């Protein structure tokens, strides 16, 4: 059974997906300043999961150029929605391989990875100082990264909901949706 923090992340993901049901590619690529466009948001959250839950624990980079398309601090982009959902689905499936393996003790660890592939692994800015090292350790432990990612999903779910409101989408879902009573509990 996944740790309760993993289940909470999955709930945040499900609310994010629910928020975006029925959004067209055309609407997903519209940028209402100063907000991000919806397709960028989908890819952006995938990039975070690729860094935290795929690259650092598994040493894999499924989409090396993703951070340059949708990373914080990079120029704004309006990528195709179907492409970003494909990327998101593949990355979250690979992230789940790691997330399903976590114990309570694992949440206290600080992941470390060699600097090979560091730029593609999800870091926006990689300094020469970082690359001069043989490895880099995340400053936050796995549990904090789980919480950070969960909260990041809710932040961008709200932003995507606001974009949809501005676009005049009718009958938007209410948040937060159904929550099982045992979402928080150890099983």
Tell me, yes or no, whether 177 lies in a domain.
Answer: no
Tell me, yes or no, whether 181 lies in a domain.
Answer: no
Mean pLDDT of 117-127: 60
**How many structural domains comprise the chain?**
1
Host H or E run for residue 136? strand 135-137
Tell me, yes or no, whether 21 lies in a domain.
Answer: yes
Looking at residue 118, its pLDDT comes to 66
End-to-end CA distance of the chain: 7
Domain coverage including residue 36: 4-166
Tell me, yes or no, whether 79 lies in a domain.
Answer: yes
Structure-model confidence comparison of residues 112 and 90, the more confident one: 90
The alpha carbon of residue 120 and the mean position of all alpha carbons in its chain are separated, in whole angstroms, by: 15
Tell me, yes or no, whether 171 lies in a domain.
Answer: no
CATH number at residue 116: 1.20.120.450
Tell me, yes or no, whether 33 lies in a domain.
Answer: yes
Tell me, yes or no, whether 141 lies in a domain.
Answer: yes
The answer on pLDDT for 87 being more than 80 is: yes
Looking at residue 177, its pLDDT comes to 74
Strands 112-114 and 135-137: antiparallel
Adjacent-strand bridge partners of 114: 135
Tell me, yes or no, whether 92 lies in a domain.
Answer: yes
Sign of CA dihedral 124, 158, 17, 165: negative
For 124-174, the pLDDT digits (tens) are 566 667 666 777 888 899 999 999 999 999 999 999 999 999 999 998 888
């Amino acid at each position: 059974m996944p740790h309760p923090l993993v289940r909470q992340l999955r709930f945040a993901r499900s609310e994010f997906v629910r928020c975006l049901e029925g959004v067209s590619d055309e609407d997903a690529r519209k940028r209402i300043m100063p907000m991000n466009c919806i397709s960028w948001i989908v890819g952006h959250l995938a990039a975070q999961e690729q860094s935290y839950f795929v690259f650092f624990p598994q040493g894999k980079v499924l989409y090396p150029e993703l951070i340059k398309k949708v990373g914080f601090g990079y120029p704004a982009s309006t990528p195709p929605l179907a492409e970003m959902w494909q990327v998101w689905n593949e990355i979250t499936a690979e992230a789940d391989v790691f997330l399903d393996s976590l114990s309570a003790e694992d949440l206290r660890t600080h992941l470390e990875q060699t600097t090979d592939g560091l730029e593609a692994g999800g870091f926006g800015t990689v300094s020469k100082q970082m690359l001069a090292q043989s490895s880099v350790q995340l400053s936050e432990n796995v549990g904090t990264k789980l919480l950070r990612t969960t909260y990041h999903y809710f932040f961008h779910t709200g932003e995507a909901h606001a974009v949809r409101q501005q676009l005049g989408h009718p009958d938007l879902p209410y948040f937060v949706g159904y929550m099982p009573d045992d979402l928080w509990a150890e099983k």
